[in-house]
Structure 1
Amino acid sequence: MTMGGSDERKDIVIIGGGIIGCATAYYLTRHPSYDPKKHRIVVVEATRVAGGASGKAGGLLAVWAYPSNIVPLSFRLHQDLALEHGGEDRWGYRRVSCGNLEAHGRKRSELEGLGAAPGFSLGKRAGETRKGGKAWSGTGLPKDLDWILPELVQGYEEMGGSRETAQVHPYYFTMSLMDLAKASGAELVIGSVTKINYADVSSPASTPPPAIDRSGNKSPSTSSLSSSTSSSRSRRKAESVTYTDKETSRSVTVPASHVVLAAGPWTARLFPAAPITGLRAHSVTITPAGPVSGYALFTEISIPSPTEVGYRGPVSPEIYARPNNEIYVCGEGDMEVEVPETTADVEVDESRCDDLIAQVSSISDHIRLGRVTRKQACYLPVLNIGGSGGPLIGETGVDGLYMASGHSCWGINNAPATGLLLSEMIFDGKAKSADIRQLDPRRIL
């Protein structure tokens, strides 16, 4: 049920300071009905803005991404944001070329540490059809892609030119949107949300389910009411959000007419019905030995000597050249370690990072002779329901409670559209800029 009209006071609490939460705050402050004297927007983040995947992603933008009902809108909004706010300088926005690259890596002895751990595709390649090893029908390496050793390339296939693909630096993009939102009246609170509190909006005989804290326990403030039940199904309304302030360790409750769950893989901790889990992804950043042209590469690298111990066939790291003379490399995801308490507790498996470095070094001396600047890991929010692609954007069936999660590897790409659509839902009562009925959380909750 949509909560109120645009003229009513709105206390909007956004849970999560990643790109989805920050983009939502930004677009709420840009909505024609937003009045900072009347409405309040609070972003509650447990550790730091862009502390999770939003600060460690690759930042690829593509018109061929998914889902198709919001991608064109989001791709255009990225360009609009860059033009309005100087995104080229502020967060590294630029158009790039993108391609599939098949290559033979150099000798196994130069790829120390390449393990045999199984991985999960991040799902970013259009089609995901070539894992079986069929040769790609490439037309040759582009001349300006001179930082890949041409004698090792078996095929190159363009996925998109500068009209279809672009990039941003995710950390700076997320931070910028939060700063812009704050400049227009939004507030940022660093604190860990412990529960969402609900009020009963059905008949007096009915009682709402108790608030659930992050450990799955009933909230003491409401559990005493659980004995009063009704045969009819009660309806709940989001009423407030309780968090523990990071600096003071005090418990604080803020009123909320609207709550936006944008907590990524942590969404289900606060709303157990959410079918969201986390896929861990490792990445590294490298300062190359020389300048590199603007390409995003999806690779399939064959490793020599298949009889050696630990050989696991072709590997598929993704390589993104950034405008600040940086190369970003990410690999397949894994689910070996559960999602931790916060982004600050994410465990980095350095051996996986070393594997990535070895893999991409095997086809590029610019990388091999470069300097590794960061080894990192994050968790991508993915749906754990088979046959249902993400994200989930919209109302949850609880009045005033919205979900914006499950964006998988396309969170940066689809954040502007997500934020704009949520701002429309909250202020206009419905999404106007795109048809997102297929992404309605109520379809699967």
Structure 2
Amino acid sequence: MPRSIAIIGGGIIGTCTAYYLSKHPKIADSTIRIFEGTSIAAGASGKAGGFLAADWHERRTASLGVLSFKLHEDLANEHGGVNKWGYRKVTTLNVEVNPVRRNKHVPDAEWLSSVSHSSKIGDTKTTGQVTPAAFTQTIAKAAEEKGVEITIATVTELRDGADGMKEVIAVANDGEKISFQATDVVFAAGPWTGRLAKQLLGDKAGVAANIVPSNCSTSVVLRPAEAAGMVSPHALFTSITMNNGMTGAPEVYPRADGTVYICGGASTTEPLPEKASDVKHTPALADKLREMAAFISPSHLGHGATTMEVAQACFRPNSDVTGAPIIGKLQPGIWIASGHQVWGIHNGPATGKVMAELILDGKATSAEISQLEP
């Protein structure tokens, strides 16, 4: 039977769900429409670090994590991800830096020439990266080419219709009201999922109401000067004590385009705004991250060696009850895929694939997700 599927949210989860639905053999004569209030990848899906790890996942998400690592590679091979979204495998290190003992250097990483300690915690068989905005936008475009419709409008109402149909009411930025008749509605709105579920479903929101936003996390993207030399593909999880006694644990992700992304330990507790476009970074936290980066690698990430291309912030979706993603059927015709915390970019493809299986086949077969279902 043809389906009419509305996906609320144009981040990595919503776009990957649309993409894998569009490729499913049972999707013929069906309609898939993404409703996104701002733009594709406007939230964390455009501002995250993009780190991938095959085997860093807890028991409930382990199968999903393994599948998604493979799907990231498959998607990169199929759609030119190396060039289009900076897909690559990386070596991942734990690095300690303190001012008392900076007498170690990391092999094959000139930019890490004066650290206190380093150890390998992931290699090119198990860790990798993407640039999230480019990845999400490219997958959305690929889905559009398969017939998926993308509507920039905010869903404001969900009405019960005849024969189990749902009427999705959305309002575009210019005030135009849009109506869409759906057999299925997928809540994949990241940190806005809980708020929207309560607004649209009321007391039938169930566990979807328990998706809450994280703190607002600031991150920066630096571009080292060409004269400083290449920053090798080593992802860093650090522990540092600076000269002034300030401590931190920033994460450092050099990217294939020559930039370096830094995040970690730079969050605030302001409330989630209505739209992703209203999320603002905290300048003092951006400066703090830049200071930490300069301390880790004075030669390549110091103030005189870099320009700050981007300072930004985002919220992530957390499940405050299960502490894990919630993926599956809330009630007949109503679905959820949210709560991925820091692993949304990594687990986006696998989540999209199993959601397509759940909706069209009635069960997930590509990964074991029974402990993630509502």
User: TM-score, normalised on structure 2?
Assistant: 0.91
Relative contact order: is structure 1 or structure 2 higher (C-alpha 8 Å, sep ≥ 6)? 1
**Whole-Å separation in 2 of the counterparts to 1:270 and 1:105:** 48
Match of 1:82 in 2: 76
Q: Which has the larger radius of gyration?
A: 1
Cα-to-partner distance string for 1:273-322 (whole Å, 9 max, x where unaligned): 4211112111000001232110110011112344xxxxxx5201100000
**Deviation at residue 333 of structure 1 after TM alignment:** 5.5
Task: State whether residues 105 and 359 of structure 1, in contact with CA within 8 Å, keep that contact through their aligned partners in structure 2.
Answer: no
What letter matches 2:211 in structure 1? I
Match of 1:163 in 2: 125
What letter matches 1:70 in structure 2? L
Match of 1:436 in 2: 369
Cα-to-partner distance string for 1:35-94 (whole Å, 9 max, x where unaligned): 2xx100000100000110000011111012322120000001111111111111111111
Match of 1:342 in 2: 275
SS at match of 1:70: helix
What letter matches 1:80 in structure 2? D
Percent sequence identity over aligned pairs: 40
Indicate whether 1:374 and 2:310 are aligned: yes
Match of 2:143 among 181, 185, 189: 181
**Deviation at residue 141 of structure 1 after TM alignment:** 4.2
Match of 2:201 in 1: none
**Deviation at residue 13 of structure 1 after TM alignment:** 0.4
Match of 2:202 in 1: none
- How many residues get paired? 354
Task: State whether residues 61 and 413 of structure 1, in contact with CA within 8 Å, keep that contact through their aligned partners in structure 2.
Answer: yes
Task: State whether residues 91 and 173 of structure 1, in contact with CA within 8 Å, keep that contact through their aligned partners in structure 2.
Answer: yes
SS at match of 1:430: coil
Match of 2:49 in 1: 58
Indicate whether 1:391 and 2:325 are aligned: yes
Task: State whether residues 278 and 335 of structure 1, in contact with CA within 8 Å, keep that contact through their aligned partners in structure 2.
Answer: no
Match of 2:357 in 1: 424
What letter matches 1:177 in structure 2? I
Cα RMSD after superposing both structures: 1.8
Matches within 5 A, 1:215-294: 239-246=166-173, 248-272=174-198, 273=205, 274=208, 275-279=210-214, 280-289=216-225, 290-294=229-233
Cα-to-partner distance string for 1:5-26 (whole Å, 9 max, x where unaligned): xxx1100000000010111111
SS at match of 1:266: helix
SS at match of 1:332: coil
Match of 2:108 among 144, 149, 161: 144
SS at match of 2:367: coil
Match of 1:222 in 2: none
Match of 1:296 in 2: 235
Structure 1 residues 437 and 346, CA gap change in structure 2 (3 angstroms) = same
The 10-residue stretch of structure 1 (86-95 or 266-275) with the greater mean CA deviation from structure 2: 266-275
SS at match of 1:362: helix
What letter matches 1:319 in structure 2? V
**Deviation at residue 154 of structure 1 after TM alignment:** 1.6
**Whole-Å separation in 2 of the counterparts to 1:141 and 1:158:** 13
Task: State whether residues 265 and 379 of structure 1, in contact with CA within 8 Å, keep that contact through their aligned partners in structure 2.
Answer: yes
**Whole-Å separation in 1 of the counterparts to 2:31 and 2:104:** 55
User: TM-score, normalised on structure 1?
Assistant: 0.77
Task: State whether residues 56 and 171 of structure 1, in contact with CA within 8 Å, keep that contact through their aligned partners in structure 2.
Answer: yes
What letter matches 1:162 in structure 2? T
**Whole-Å separation in 2 of the counterparts to 1:305 and 1:380:** 31
**Deviation at residue 347 of structure 1 after TM alignment:** 2.1
What letter matches 1:95 in structure 2? K
Cα-to-partner distance string for 1:304-350 (whole Å, 9 max, x where unaligned): 344xxxxxx52011000001110000122635101100001102111
**Whole-Å separation in 1 of the counterparts to 2:283 and 2:162:** 49
Match of 1:195 in 2: 157
> Which of the pair is proportionally richer in helix?
2
